[in-house]
Amino acid sequence: MCNRVFNKHNIFCSHFCSESEKCKISNKCSKACGVTCDKPCKSVVIANDNPNIIYSISRSAKKIGCKVVGENYNGYDALRSALEIKPDIMIVSIELPGIDGIEITNRLKNVSPNTKIIIISSIYNQDIINLSYWAGAKFYLPLTFDELELEEVLLAS
């Protein structure tokens, strides 16, 4: 069982923080940070055509102990990467050059059924959201997601 928790200082820790573990200067947990856990880390492939978004997602994934095993900027490379690696989690944008995120999701659900797919998109249209879930996505996040929201979704995947 994983013992990851948010401590009372709202810092992501792998333990419960006691008052004696707080830094005297920052008043934050002095052990916060490296994530240690009995659960094996999850492998993650990220597909987005914006390097800044890939960087942000990668940083959040690593923060909670995931291992980023692929970063792709178009749908063809993303699909190829996911088929070769068969990651635990794939975070894919709907709007990708080449093959779109929904098509990637649809193809992966048959070939790599254990890969959990998280769709991110600037499109907030109920028909598109429903289509994403129908294709096999486990989560749909608007592009305006915050770091904590992404971390919660990754942990739930």
**pTM of the predicted model as reported, rounded to 2 decimal places:** 0.73
b/e per residue, 97-119, with b = 16+ CB within 10 A?
A: eebbbbbbbbbbeeebeebbbbb
Domains of the chain: 1-37 (no CATH), 40-156 (3.40.50.2300)
CA Rg value for the chain: 17
For residue 26, give the DSSP letter.
Answer: T
User: Residue 19: what pLDDT?
Assistant: 46
101-111 and 75-85 helices, crossing angle to 10° = 20
User: Residue 64: what pLDDT?
Assistant: 87
pLDDT digits (tens, 9 = 90+) for 64-105: 889 999 999 999 999 999 999 999 999 999 999 999 999 999
Percent of the chain with pLDDT over 90: 57
User: Residue 143: what pLDDT?
Assistant: 87
More confident residue, 66 or 146: 66
